[in-house]
Each structure stands twice: as structure tokens, then as C-alpha cells.
Structure 1
Amino acid sequence: MSCFTHFHETWFDKLRLLLNQLSSAPRPPSSPEQHQHLVDLVHKVMSHYTEYYRVKALAAQRDALSVIAAPWDTCLERSLHWIAGWRPTTAFHIIYTESSIQFESHIADILRGLSTGDLRDLSPAQFRLISELQSETIREENAITEDISAWQDGASGQLLDDYCADIEEKIGRLVNVLEKAENLRLRTVQRVVDLLTTQQAVEFLIAMAELQFGIRAWGQNQERAPA
């Protein structure tokens, strides 16, 4: 897993660079060129996440148990994991939280009818579609949770037995559950982005990356602190 650990570190470094680009991009865009720049940035970030889950899926095929253990993450990050990563429905909490914060901080502008096209300007149609997607994602999360629970019940006490006749079959089932979880994570982010305007998508991706960095930094600080 040393190869994936190194990939994970370099991937995070690249995400930080992309976060800086997203944060410094002009919002709202004032020209077609600036709008296209935002579109390109969203595409770059989504490609970056796609690459992460592609490489992680390959790592799971080689060593699924190590991917579940996630030694490259901090203890805090692992404590928040849902099947080796963040819970897909977290994306909706980010949307609602950011929309609420922006609404409250600009309520005077909103009462004057001003619109800037950011997350506080989510339309009723967008809220409806996001809510429908959230419900669908919850159902898929629950189904995958049942899959991993069934796997744990069936594999309990057998993975340590080198002579277990169906160990490969059990590991194969674990890989399948991991692939479902990773696919749902990536698909949820992509579908949320598709429901947003370009500017809203940029703000959503900024909030998501900042949450990742914040939790990671907090976890690293805890591990560095003297006992």
C-alpha cells in the first residue's frame, strides 16, 4: 500500500493547488472568458476526483483489507469513514449549510431582490432536484451498508484462517462493496455539480475541499499533540 499512500499524498497536494485556483477565480464571472475559466476549473477538479477513485479501486483489487483500514488517513478521518471514505450524503449537508450561511450573511441584499448566482440563489427547482437526489443517495447508502454488514457477518473469524476455502470469494465480495461505495461517492458529487450553475458548482467544490483539508489538519494536529 506504500504506492497508494504516496499517490494519496500527492493527490492531496494537487487538490490544494486546485482549491487555490477555485478560490481565486472571479465570482460571479463578468465575461464569457471568465465563465469558461470556471467551467474548465470545475472539469479539472472533477477529473481529479475521478482519478482518485480510479486509482483507489485498483488498490482495493490488490489489497482490499488495507483500503478498508486506510492507514494513509488520520485517526480522526478514519473515525468518520463510511466504508473506507466519506459518506456520500455529506455532499447534501455541504450544499444546505453553505446555502444557509450565504443566505443569512446576505439577507439584506436578498430582501432588496439582488441576485449574484451563488449557492444562496438556489432555485425551488434546484432544491427539489437536490432533495430527490438526496433521497435516492440515502437509499443506495443504506443498501451498501447492508452489503458490508452481511459481508462482515459472513467473514467474521474466517479472514485470519489461511486455510479458509472460500477466502478469495469473500475478498472478492469485499472488493465489490468497496467499488459500489466509491462509485456512489463520485457519482453523487458529479450529479450534484450537474444540478448547479457553474458558479454554484465552484462554491460547492471549494466547500467540499475545505472540509476535507480541515478534518485532515485537525486529525494531524491531534496526532502531533503530546500525550
Structure 2
Amino acid sequence: MLSPSWRTRLEEAFLWIGGWRPSMAFHLVYSRSGLQLEARLSELISGLSTSDLGNLSTNQLILVDELQRITLREEKEITRKMAKLQETVADSSIVELSHLETELIRSGGRQEEEAEQVELTLVSKEKALEEMLEKADDVRLRTLKEIIGMLKPLQAVHFLIAAAELHLRLHDWGKERDARR
């Protein structure tokens, strides 16, 4: 659920709780905006309007900045909760089960009762992980919707194209690197 098999190691290295980090969307907006502004600077100086991310209004930049602040706070809170959840892998219930399982393996077998206890303990951990993934997905989706809502339609198209290009290139680069190893 957090690491699908089709992802490359390079992609995995840059992901956050099962997907892209929401704050990445802001970096993408700013980076693409700067590149497009630079490419069309002479047109803008001449008074020609472009419909890409190089022509963000002051109001749009303020809205993006406000959303970025909110999103970063949410990201940090989810990251904190995820770290706390990950630390529970060494809580007393898991450590005790681990030790009991090791002793049972040494003595020649696992009892059905212990297997059920392991399953119950792991199910609760997995449920908590699913909840964290849902929260992360919620922030990702809200961020994407709000950014698109702040942009003019053609700007939104440029943003989505840039996001798709980045995703595809990162995947391709990861496949190339994995193939060389």
C-alpha cells in the first residue's frame, strides 16, 4: 500500500507516505513559473499576455503562498504522526511477540494461539498505516484541487502537464538506473 511494485527505487526515494509530497506541488509551480517567465520575458515586457505559469498574478502568488503555509503545517503534523506510528514497531506488544515467536521457532513450532495474537497486533498497526495514508492522500488531493482552482484554465493545463512530465521522467530515470544495477 505504501510501496507499489511498479515504482522504481529512485521514485521511492523521493516519495512521502505512499505518494508525492504535497509541498512538491508548490516547488513545481514556482520552478515552472520561473522557467516560463524567463522564456517569455520579452513578450511580457512588450505587454503581451501569456497564459502559462510565467504570467501568475500577484493575487495568485499570494494565494499559492498562503496555501503553501497551510499545506506545510499539515504535512509536518502527518509526518510527526507517521514517525510516532513507525516507532510503535518496537513497543512492548511487538517486542514481546517477536521474542515469543523466536522461542517457539527454536522449540519446534508455532502455536495457532500465538499466530492469532501476531495477526491481531499487526492488523491494528496496518489499520493505523492505512489511516495515515488516507490523511496524506487527502492533503495531496486538496492541495492539487486548490492549486488548480487558483490558476486560470490554461495555467492549470501547464501545471498538470509539468506534473505529468516530472512524474514520467522520474519513473523513466529510475528504470534506467535500476536496469544498470
TM-score normalised over the length of structure 1: 0.66
- 2:151 aligned with 1:196, yes or no? yes
Matches within 5 A, 1:1-150: 67-150=1-84
Give distance in 2, aligned partners of 1:212 and 1:180: 21
Q: Which amino acid aligns with 2:85?
A: W
- 2:143 aligned with 1:167, yes or no? no
Give distance in 2, aligned partners of 1:71 and 1:92: 27
Q: Deviations over 1:79-134 (max 9, x none)?
A: 11111111111111111011101111111111111112221111100000000000
Give distance in 2, aligned partners of 1:126 and 1:192: 9
2:101 corresponds to = none
Larger of the two Rg values belongs to structure: 2
Identical aligned residues as a percent: 38
CA contact (8 A) 1:117 1:199 kept: yes
1:216 corresponds to = 171
Give distance in 2, aligned partners of 1:138 and 1:70: 25
CA contact (8 A) 1:130 1:192 kept: yes
1:205 corresponds to = 160
Q: Which amino acid aligns with 1:122?
A: L
2:108 corresponds to = none
CA apart distance, 1:224: 1.6
Of stretches 78-87 and 124-133 in structure 1, the one that deviates more from structure 2 is 78-87
Q: RMSD over aligned Cα, in angstroms?
A: 1.7
Of stretches 130-139 and 76-85 in structure 1, the one that deviates more from structure 2 is 76-85
Query: RCO higher in 1 or 2 (8 Å CA, sep ≥ 6)?
Result: 2
CA contact (8 A) 2:51 2:155 kept: yes
Give distance in 2, aligned partners of 1:116 and 1:178: 38
Unaligned runs of 5+ in 1: 1-66
Q: Which runs of 4+ in 1 moved over 4 A?
A: 159-162
3-state DSSP of counterpart to 2:6 = coil
CA apart distance, 1:76: 0.6
Give distance in 2, aligned partners of 1:119 and 1:152: 39
Of stretches 124-133 and 164-173 in structure 1, the one that deviates more from structure 2 is 164-173
CA contact (8 A) 1:70 1:78 kept: no
* Equivalent residues, number: 160
Give distance in 2, aligned partners of 1:193 and 1:123: 14
Give distance in 2, aligned partners of 1:119 and 1:69: 32
Q: Which amino acid aligns with 2:40?
A: H
